[in-house]
Amino acid sequence: MSKKRTKKVKKVKKVSKTKKEVKKTNIILQKDEIKIFLPEKQIPDAWYNILPDLPVPFEPYIHPGTKKPLTPDDLAPIFPMALIQQELSPQRWIDIPGEIIDIYRLWRPSPLYRARKLEKVLQTPAKIYYKYEGVSPAGSHKPNTAIAQAYYNKKEGVKKLSTETGAGQWGSALSLAGALIGLEVEVYMVKVSYKQKPFRKSMIETWGAKVYASPTDRTEVGRKILAENPDSPGSLGIAISEAVEVAVKDQNTKYSLGSVLNHVLLHQTIVGLEAKKQMELAGDYPDVVIACCGGGSNLGGISFPFIYDKLTGKKPDLRTVAVEPTACPTLTRGLFGYDFGDTGQMTPLIKMFTLGHKFVPSGIHAGGLRYHGDSPLISLLCKHKIIEAVAYDQNPVFESAILFAKNEGIIPAPESAHAIKAAIDEAIKAKEEGKKKVILFNLSGHGHFDMIAYDDYLSGKLKDVPLSDEALKKGFKSMPQI
Ligand SMILES: Cc1ncc(COP(=O)(O)O)c(C=O)c1O
C-alpha cells in the first residue's frame, strides 16, 4: 500500500488546479474521440466538501428524543468518528488516504464518453457526455463510498458492518469493500429486489457477506412490520431500520449507509472531480448536469464540483437536474421538513424533502430510487433552486434505456436510465430551440443484473400506476411535528 498522500493546506484554488494538471498529462485528443480516459496518477487526492459553500447554513440533524441538535457522541454507536467528523466538516477539501486511492485504482479514473451515436440518432445539435460508473467491480458508483467507509471503520477497530440495500448495488459494493478491506458485512436487502435480482444476492455472497430479505424476523423492527403485513414488499426505510438496529445492539458492529448523508456524497465527488478534468480535456463545459436521484449520492457526486463553479460565480447559469420516478416523487411532490431517515424511527431527524417515513412506494424496477427521503444537501439545493427536479414513469424510462443500449451499447441500470431519459429530453429540446447545448449525465451503473426488468418491459408487463394525492397525504401524516 502506498504512503498516505498528505496535503496540509487545501485551498479554493484546487478546482482551477485542474487546468495545470490536465496540461501535465500531455494528452492530445483526436477531434472525434469517444472515450476520454485519465491516467491513474490523475485520480483526485481530495474530495470536495460543499458544506462551506452552501448559500445558507446547513440545518442540524435533530435528536428525536431531546429535539436538540445531534452531537457527535449521539452518532458514535453507529458510525466511526472519522465519518462523523466528515459529516459536518467545515473544510472544503478532505484528503483521500493513499490506501483508499490504491483500491480506487482497480477501476478509477472511470471513463467519460461522448454519446456520438445517440446524438446522431436524435439529430440534436447538443453534445451529450456521460461519465460511466458501471466499470467498478460491483457495477455502479457505490464502491466509491463503500471503500472509504470500510476503510475508516477498520481503522477504528470495527469488526462488522450492517447495511441495507435496495437494488442490490449498494449491498454488493459494501460486500466488495468488506472483502478488500477485511470486514464482515451483513446486508438487509429490500424483499421485492431480493426476488427480482437473485444474482445480486449471489454476488454479495461471493464477496463473503451475508444477505437477508427485509423485512426479516431477525430484528424487532422487522418482526413488527411482518406482524402488521406478512406480505410487505419491504422498502429502503424498513431495511435501514433493521440494519441500524443490528449495529446499535452489537458494539463490534457499525452501520453503513450507501446514500443520503453528507459524508457519502462527499466520497462520491470523486466522480465529478474526474469528470471536470475530462470535460476540460474535451474542451467543453456542461450547460446542464443530470443524474438520477434516490438518496442523492450519484447526483451529488457528479454535480457538486460543477455547482461549486455556480456558487462562486464562474458558471452562474449552470443547470443541475435530479431525476426521480413518479412512483417515488420525493423532490417533485414531497414536503421539505424534518423527518426520520427510516421507517422504524431509529435514525435522527433530517431536514429534507420527504414523502413521510411510512410511505412505501410501489415495487418499481428502479429499486435504488424507492426511498421516501433525500439527501439533506440535495434537498437544500433544490429548495434554493440551485438544483431542479423532474420525475418520469418507468415505461418511458425503459424506452430511453433501450434507445441508449442500441446506440451506445451499454445496458444501463434502471436507476441510471432515468438520467438517460432526462438527457434525451434535454437534447430534443436543444434541437427544437436550435441550441448547441452541452449535456453531461452520470451513467451510475450497468443493468446486467436487471434483465428481469428489461424482460418485463419488452413483454409489455410493466405498469405505470399514478400515485394519488391521497396516498401522498397518508405518507405526509407520518412526518413528526418539529
Ligand atoms: C445504479 C444506481 N444508480 C443510482 C442509485 C440511486 O442512489 P443515489 O441516489 O444515492 O445515487 C442506485 C441505488 O441503489 C443505483 O444502484
CATH number at residue 416: 3.40.50.1100
Taking the C-alpha atoms of residue 306 and residue 481, their distance in angstroms, rounded to an integer, is 35
> Which ligand 1 atom is nearest residue 446's CA?
1
Instruction: Tell me if the pTM is above 0.85.
Output: yes
Does pLDDT of 15 surpass 70?
A: no
> Does a structural domain hold residue 418?
yes
**Confidence at residue 25, expressed as pLDDT on a 0 to 100 scale:** 59
- Is a pLDDT exceeding 80 seen at residue 113? yes
Instruction: Flag whether 245 is in a domain.
Output: no
- Dist. CA 53 → ligand 1 center (Å): 25
State the pLDDT confidence band at 31, using cuts at 50, 70 and 90.
Answer: confident
CA 296 to centroid of ligand 1, rounded, Å: 8
More reliable by pLDDT, 26 or 12: 26
> Band of the pLDDT at 193, cuts 50, 70, 90?
confident
* Residue 20 scores a pLDDT above 50: no
Domain membership of residue 213 (yes or no) is no
In a domain, 346, yes or no: yes
Cα separation values, 272 from 17, 111, 290, 301, 470, Å? 15, 12, 11, 6, 38
Q: How confident is the model at residue 482 (pLDDT cuts 50, 70, 90)?
A: confident
Q: What is the mean pLDDT of residues 178-195?
A: 95
Would residue 39 count as lying in a domain? no
434: CA distance to ligand 1 center in Å? 33
Asked if residue 47 has its Cβ within 6 Å of ligand 1, the reply is: no
pLDDT band at 355 (very low <50, low <70, confident <90, very high): very high
Domain total in the chain: 1
Ligand 1 binding pocket includes 413 (Cβ within 6 Å): yes
Ligand 1 centroid vs 169 CA: distance in angstroms?
7
Indicate which atom in ligand 1 lies nearest the CA of residue 264.
Answer: 10
Q: How many A from CA of 273 to the centre of ligand 1?
A: 19
**415: Cβ below 6 Å to ligand 1?**
yes
Domain assignment present for residue 81? The answer is no
Supply the pLDDT for residue 24.
Answer: 53
Q: 266-316 pLDDT, tens per residue?
A: 999 999 999 999 999 999 999 999 999 999 999 999 999 999 999 999 999
C-alpha 175/C-alpha 168 separation (Å) is 10
Assess whether pLDDT exceeds 90 at residue 363.
Answer: no
Assigned domain for 294 exists: yes
**Mean pLDDT estimate for the chain:** 93
- pLDDT tens, position by position, 383-400: 999 999 999 999 999 999
Q: Averaged over 99-111, what is the pLDDT?
A: 98
The finding on whether 136 has its CB within 6 A of some atom of ligand 1 is no
Q: Where residue 87 falls among pLDDT bands split at 50, 70, 90?
A: very high
pLDDT for the residue 443: 99
The pick from 169, 299, 371 for probing ligand 1's pocket by mutation, whose C-beta has the most ligand atoms within 8 angstroms, reads: 169
Locate the ligand 1 atom nearest the alpha carbon of residue 301 and give its number.
11
CA distance 418 to 345: 29
Domain range for residue 383?
104-139+261-476
pLDDT at position 22 is 47
Query: Each residue of 131-185: pLDDT tens digit?
Result: 999 999 999 999 999 999 999 999 999 999 999 998 899 999 999 999 999 999 9
What is the whole-number distance in angstroms between the Cα of residue 444 and the centre of ligand 1? 7
Q: How far apart are CA 119 and CA 4, in angstroms?
A: 43
CA distance 92 to 46: 9
pLDDT, residue 85, reads: 98
Distances (CA, A) of 193 to 12, 145, 166, 168, 369: 42, 22, 6, 7, 12
Q: How large is the average pLDDT for residues 213-221? A: 97
Is 266 a member of any domain? Answer: yes
- Ligand 1 atom closest to Cα of 445? 1
Pocket of ligand 1 contains residue 295 by CB under 6 Å: yes
